[in-house]
Copies of this chain bind each other. A is one copy, B any other.
């Protein structure tokens, strides 16, 4: 077995070539993993998590969310924008007021799955 057969794609050549090759074939697509990381990134901020936990209860306007979380309207608005771009929330206008609500049932499922991990010993 000469050097050409060794896996040398990186500075740390694999120790277990068989394992590496086997696992490589079963990994999810890079794109999916990237998108998944992006999704969790959205959940990975206290402000956004708190906003979502408010919206789990009821649709809420920007102003009320700001009040509930004791933050500025601007900060909340910026984060709502991110949540909306990620399609986790949606909104509707009623006169001057804009109400935000969850876009999706998955959101709560993901949230709850995380909560289980947090609360269990």
Contacts and interface: CB of A to CB of B under 8 A. Distances in A.
Contacts of A72: 10-12
B73 A115 contact: no
Contacts of A19: 58, 60, 64
Given A61-B15, A61-B16, A116-B106, A54 B36 contact: no
A14 B67 contact: yes
A20 B68 contact: yes
A79 to B, nearest CB: 12
A24 interface: yes
A1 interface: no
Contacts of A76: 12
A87 to B, nearest CB: 9
